[in-house]
Copies of this chain bind each other. A is one copy, B any other.
């Protein structure tokens, strides 16, 4: 391993900034987390943070970017499938997968009003939420479908948040979220004995 010239490379610092930011955002909310806290937590000055992200908003967007991309791809894939149940099944599985792999982050994205406002200002996030909701809601007709879908999406996101479900590993969490989600939505478990 060729030693990086400095103690840690520049790219590394940028990534570490994003990591501690996610942790702090999820622990203290976006509005409740100052740049000073982030800098202190990492042992650098605010100026170093500024070097990588000129505004707190920019930092947040950089953090969100990968999840946003995955989410969009998932929605488009699911919408391309035939069959209401197949679409819901795919959407649900992918949503859980992304959420579990980014535990702390999703809770922030999904429920922090400050974050949601900012997302709305920069992206067509409303449309994306509508489409996610519709994919799950179509399993049941009328309000029942929409309300079930809302409960499931919000529940998955919020339940994996900080301090909750910490004592389950990813695989366990995924399986049981999937089962509970299927039941709430009225999805039969897919028959994959042949698979």
Which A positions have Cβ atoms within 8 angstroms of B? 26-32, 107, 110-114, 117, 143-144, 146-148, 150-159, 161-162, 164-165, 168, 172-173, 176-177, 179-181, 183-186
Contact = CB atoms under 8 A, between A and B. Distances in A.
Contacts of A113: 26-29, 32, 162
Contacts of A143: 168, 172, 176
Contacts of A117: 28
Contacts of A173: 147
Contact of A155 (B144, B146, B152, B186): B152
Contacts of A29: 29-32, 112-114
A90 B25 CA distance: 35
Interface centre among A143, A144, A155, A172 (most CB of B within 10 A): A155
Given A28-B114, A29-B113, A32-B30, A164 B159 contact: no
A52 to B, nearest CB: 15
